[in-house]
Amino acid sequence: MLSIPLGLPEFRVIKQELHSYGYAIHVEKTETQERCPHCGFATSSVHDRRTRKVRDLAIFHQPVYLFVKIKRYRCWNCSQVFSASLESVQPNQHYTNRFCEYLYELCEGSTIQEVSRKHRIPYTTLERIYYSIASKKAKERQTAIEASSQEGMVLSLDEIAVKKGHQYETVLMDARAGSVMGMHADRQCDSAIHLLSQKVLSKERVQTVILDMWEPYHKAVRALFPSASIVIDKYHVVQKVTQALDQARKEFSPLKKARYLLLKGCEKLRKDQRLRLDDILEEYPALSIAYYLKELFRDFYRTDGYNEAKERLEEWIQLAKQSPFASFQEVANTLERWKEPILSYFLCPYTNARIEGTNHKIKNIKRRAYGYRNRERFRLRVFLECTGNTTGSQAA
């Protein structure tokens, strides 16, 4: 039989066999003396021996089982009987520590059910192994986040739908590091306050918070970080304007198939598409006003400097109020109400792009498992898979 080092220094290999179920390796602990866990005295008096079957990492895709001869000692001092301690195997565990770690890594990016099926491990056993290791790693990463956090933190706060019927989770993210800092049920003010009340987040550290135009989030940020700059994500602002254009388009029934041409940026259209767009705007002069307002607003975000941007936004709001479309008048009133946090983008040019991408990853995690009944386990999965190596270094 091929001889391969076991890689577990505490064991001495007695013999190895190949069976239909895999490799059987008989081992025993090299140490012949143990310290009593009751009184602390060392003893070498063996009371009896027992054998424990422990599964280890596979060799050449064949399962490996260690038959560990466990010595039970009797203490000379207190006469108590105890088993020898093992570094590679936890008490009452039938899998080595490194095999448990291997199973945990397999479950990342997959499902517990899939790993259970491939490695022929009971689902409940693998579930217990995964979440016990996951809880430890989550604590380690939380400690790493707290240690790496510096002054001038930029936070992103957004919601994600986790179930039909308007059931949401609020997601908090470090926008610079790209790491999820936590999730909480629903998207109300209390949920945001719960997330923003973490020990690592202080009034002195948090410099900027990026949000959409959801009032409960703004209320929570103003309550906890009154001096922090609030920036409204520009994607959500532009979305409001494009939706207003789409509403205006619906007033012209023959333009059902012109949505793509009107909403897409002018510079991205092909030559034939531009010619068709020109024909549409010439045929519907009122609609050309709405299209002009949309393109004018896109130019607003290309402005250099806060003062010029403020002038352009105020000018756009006045033009939109004077337009013949109720949808643009409504958007103008909305932007006027949120003018200051919208303009904060030109002082602190951050967006929610990272958290939007992470939200897509969170949806894939949920979809991969066909949903989670246990919401805490879902949050734990998200925290581990959406934090990763970002805790060690701050992204630009």
Helix, strand, coil percentages in the chain from 3-state DSSP, rounded to 5: 45, 20, 30
Q: Is the pLDDT of residue 72 over 50?
A: yes
CB 159 within 8 A of CB 170: yes
| Res 102: pLDDT | 96
Q: Is the pLDDT of residue 57 over 50?
A: yes
| Res 390: pLDDT | 45
CA atoms within 13 A on the CB side of 306: 11
Q: Picking from 67-76, 120-129, 164-173, 183-192, which range would have the lowest pLDDT averaged per residue?
A: 164-173
Domain positions in the chain: 1-90, 95-147, 148-232+351-385, 234-347
Nearest-CA neighbor of 216 among 239, 193, 185, 182?
Answer: 193
Name the token pair of 232.
């409204």
CATH superfamily of 148-232+351-385: Ribonuclease H-like superfamily/Ribonuclease H (3.30.420.10)
pLDDT in tens, 276-330: 999 999 999 989 999 999 999 999 999 989 999 999 999 999 999 999 999 999 9
- Could you tell me the pLDDT band of residue 5, with boundaries at 50, 70 and 90? confident
CB 197 within 8 A of CB 189: no
pTM for this one? 0.80
Distances from the Cα of 140 to the Cα of 89, 98, 144, 195, 383, angstroms = 21, 18, 6, 19, 12
Name the token pair of 19.
């069976």
